[in-house]
Amino acid sequence: MSRSVPTIREGIDIEDQWVVLVREGISIAFYMRQPHEVMASAVWRALERYRQAVSPRQPGWYVDYSGDWQPLDSEGDAVIRKRLLATSASVELIERPDSVTGIAFNYRGQSKAVVGFEEEEKESTCALEFWLPIEFIDERGPEWIRSLAIDLGRELPWNSGHAGLSLEVGSWPRSLTPRLREVTLRHPGFDLNRPSDLSLSLGTQLRPPAWLTFLGPPVLNELGGAEALRSRLHSPSTRVESLSPDRALVSLGPVPEAGDLDAGDTLPAYRELARVLEPWLYAHQGEWGFFTEAEVRRWERRFL
């Protein structure tokens, strides 16, 4: 199945060793308008589930407070647990420190002490992201990925979330921007996530649709619930599943798709969902990496 997903690998040669900077993969992300203190233990349990699920592969390195990579041995594991159970948290784990591989974990947990977190009009949120290698589509199957995404979010008080194809970017030098621009404009099914930016500005707004789109309060309530949402979506490949009275999952087909505008594959089911969700879609202010604000706006509205 992954053969239908274009291979996107960009890197640089360092002393005869190829270092991968960008790789296609599968991102599972959740956004929670709750202070980190409320859900620290749930985030730790979700990380443990993720590590069990991707075994025998594992995140092997973490970023310390100086920005340097450290081995995730027993001592490092204790550091990460302590950091996640503190009043706020910034955690980045990866399989290898020299190349992106599709195994990674990113979390930005905002404390209730952050200015505006307890004010309804402010936009602070906690952003959580898990990565899976693209090979898992073939090796473990899309239904396994879908079940894992649901399981990872089971205890989290998420307002929204998504899972689908994305570009894992280990480093974004300016020279890489033309290639990222080309890929994201041609293949709209690829996301380009940045949890560190979103934790400061997303609030309860929504990212563009993905293969799996998680909808919770307040948006699902404003849509009238899962049944009302289901009545507005007519693509035969779309499935709406109620996960609880105020949370639902929209699945756009049996497998994640990249689309290809050059070949006329516009991902109509994604576009239909985007039109329904348009009033709640997030509009990022400023640059996104080295994309200009105008380029960001065009990319964010790629399904509209």
Say what the alpha-carbon torsion angle 240, 241, 247, 253 is, to the nearest 10 degrees.
-50
Radius of gyration over every alpha carbon of the chain, rounded to an integer in angstroms: 18
Report how far apart the first and last C-alpha atoms of the chain are (Å, whole number): 27
Nearest to 148 by CA among 122, 135, 130, 175: 130
Mean of the pLDDT values across residues 257-263? 96
Q: What is the DSSP letter of 95?
A: S
101 and 69 Cβ atoms separated by less than 8 Å: no
User: What's the confidence (pLDDT) of residue 16?
Assistant: 76
27 and 35 Cβ atoms separated by less than 8 Å: no
SS3 state of residue 107: strand
Say what the alpha-carbon torsion angle 53, 54, 60, 64 is, to the nearest 10 degrees.
-60
Residue type at position 181:
R
- Pick 34 or 133 by higher pLDDT: 133
Confidence of residue 120 (pLDDT cuts 50, 70, 90): low
Q: Is the peptide bond before 218 cis (omega within 30 degrees of 0)?
A: yes
Q: For residue range 165-182, what is the model confidence (pLDDT) as tens digits?
A: 999 998 888 889 999 999
User: What's the confidence (pLDDT) of residue 2?
Assistant: 46
Model confidence at 157: pLDDT above 90: yes
Q: Which range has the worst mean pLDDT, 40-49, 73-82, 193-202, 256-265?
A: 193-202
Nearest to 77 by CA among 101, 89, 61: 61
Q: For residue range 196-235, what is the model confidence (pLDDT) as tens digits?
A: 888 888 999 999 999 999 999 999 999 999 999 999 999 9
Model confidence at 118: pLDDT above 80: no
As a whole number of angstroms, the distance between CA 28 and CA 9 comes to 20
Give the residue carrying structure tokens 């996960």. 243
Domain residue ranges in the chain: 11-300
73 and 62 Cβ atoms separated by less than 8 Å: no
